[in-house]
Amino acid sequence: MAFTLQIGEKASDFKLPATDGNAYRLSDFNDAKVLVVFFTCNHCPFVVGSDEVTRSTAEKFADQGVKFVGINANSVRTKPDDSFEVMVERMEEKKFPWTYLRDESQEVAKAYGALRTPHFYVFDEKRQLIYTGRGLDNPRESEKATINDLENALSEHLAGEKITTPLTNPLGCNVKWDGEDEHWMPQEACDLV
């Protein structure tokens, strides 16, 4: 079995605490026509470098029923800056247009097969996976990016078209798995394409 969710597979449920003081389940986003779940964090230069592009993508499609949910699953033992407290501070400072959840147990990251930060999963109205992988082809230096695969996938899907590139390799830092070296990845977590 593949480590990462495959195109056509259903979104895995979760119940996780958010920086706004609430806990959220997958069903709390039932009103979203399209749901973008992405694994992210506070410190990774690939996340920090592309957060504003992710913001503009979220804002661009918000009125078409697209919602974004960020999940931070990184071990704080590996990266103390990925603590829930820093998540709250970051959201207060940046006011990102998404719900930011903490996956302390890393069970949700494992269920989705998150490889890197950021790693995007786009689900249609039935919550079937229609795109997974990177947002940009250069998330660390977004000003040098030439392709926004996430935006392309959303545009094509919302226009009723087939997604040209439904699968890309996420670009970023490894998810920081608890008890492992910071560069460790599960053996079955090879590149997607």
Summarize pLDDT for 172-183 with one digit per residue, the tens: 999 999 988 888
Q: What CA–CA distance (Å, rounded) separates 85 from 101?
A: 12
Q: pLDDT tens, 41-87?
A: 999 999 999 999 999 999 999 999 999 999 999 999 999 999 999 99
Structural fold of domain 9-174: Glutaredoxin (3.40.30)
pLDDT of residue 20: 98
- To the nearest 10 degrees (0 to 180), the angle between helices 149-158 and 45-61 is 20
**Structure-token pair, residue 128:** 């079937």
Contacts by 141-148, CB closer than 8 A, 24 or more apart: 141/49, 142/49, 142/50, 142/52, 142/53, 145/50, 145/53, 148/53, 148/57
Q: Is the pTM of this model over 0.85?
A: yes
pLDDT of residue 138: 97
Q: What CA–CA distance (Å, rounded) separates 63 from 85?
A: 30
Task: Find out whether 121 and 129 touch, Cβ atoms under 8 Å.
Answer: yes
Q: How far is CA 51 from the centre of its chain?
A: 11
- Residue ranges per structural domain of the chain: 9-174
Q: Report percent pLDDT > 70 for the chain.
A: 95
Q: What is the mean pLDDT of the chain?
A: 95
Instruction: Reply yes or no on whether the pLDDT at 15 is more than 50.
Output: yes
Instruction: Reply yes or no on whether the pLDDT at 191 is more than 70.
Output: no
Partner residues linked to 144 by β-bridges? none
Q: pLDDT tens, 18-37?
A: 999 999 999 999 999 999 99
As a whole number of Å, the CA-based R_g of the chain is 15
pLDDT of residue 183: 80
pLDDT of residue 1: 44
> Of the candidates 137, 126, 143, which has an alpha carbon nearest to the alpha carbon of residue 165?
137
Q: pLDDT tens, 135-176?
A: 999 999 999 999 999 999 999 999 999 999 999 999 999 999
Q: pLDDT tens, 112-134?
A: 999 999 999 999 999 999 999 99
Q: What CA–CA distance (Å, rounded) separates 145 from 141?
A: 7
